[in-house]
Structure 1
Amino acid sequence: MARFTCFADFYPYYLSEHANPLCRTLHYMGSSLVLVVLFWAVLTQQWLWLFSLPVIGYGFAWLGHLLFEHNKPATFNYPFYSLAADWVMYKDFLTGQLSGKLQHLARTSPPS
């Protein structure tokens, strides 16, 4: 794996590790559930729910990598970049920007 020193270089790599739409769907499900549980914990002031957030978020994501991508999640080598990239990918998905970024990545990546 290449060594990344800035997020702008890491994000295209991150997207390349999430080429499978089913893997990305599990990421979105986990991220959405994290937001719902976070909102619920704040709304009800039941703070113990906050302990479930890493399990929910990473559980769905890692399941996607295990079942569909068949690769090692970037979290293990780049925990902070990976967490940030997951939310950027979620934002790109919600705003309709992700397909363009994936297409650009496919055009600029060397063939494997």
Structure 2
Amino acid sequence: MHTLTPEERYILEEKGTEAPFSGEYYAFDETGVFHCKKCDAPLFPSTAKFDSGTGWPSFDAAFLGAVKEITDKDGRRTEIICAACGGHLGHVFHGEGFTPKNTRHCVNSLSLAFKAGD
């Protein structure tokens, strides 16, 4: 397990959100795999990343079984967590039309670790 900074702990363990357009991976375009910052589980292939213009890294697909969807307590949004460790990643939205898959995993950069060439 990775030793988390206070900011990473806030996102992953307290379900926080980083400011839009501030994350390391928002305007990031390298080939590899995005892993959970907390437990290192592979979550998203770089081929699934797209520019949604929303301010956070966006992915239209996760690796099979890597991410769990949970309805927020207010019932309005769907949270996504790492299936391996339960760390908060962000939220998922369906039906927006950004890509043919019609899915946007809106993820906090601070919850991710990138590995080139995976």
Using the size of structure 1 for normalisation, the TM-score is 0.30
> Which one has the bigger strand percentage?
2
Using the size of structure 2 for normalisation, the TM-score is 0.29
> Which one has the bigger helix percentage?
1
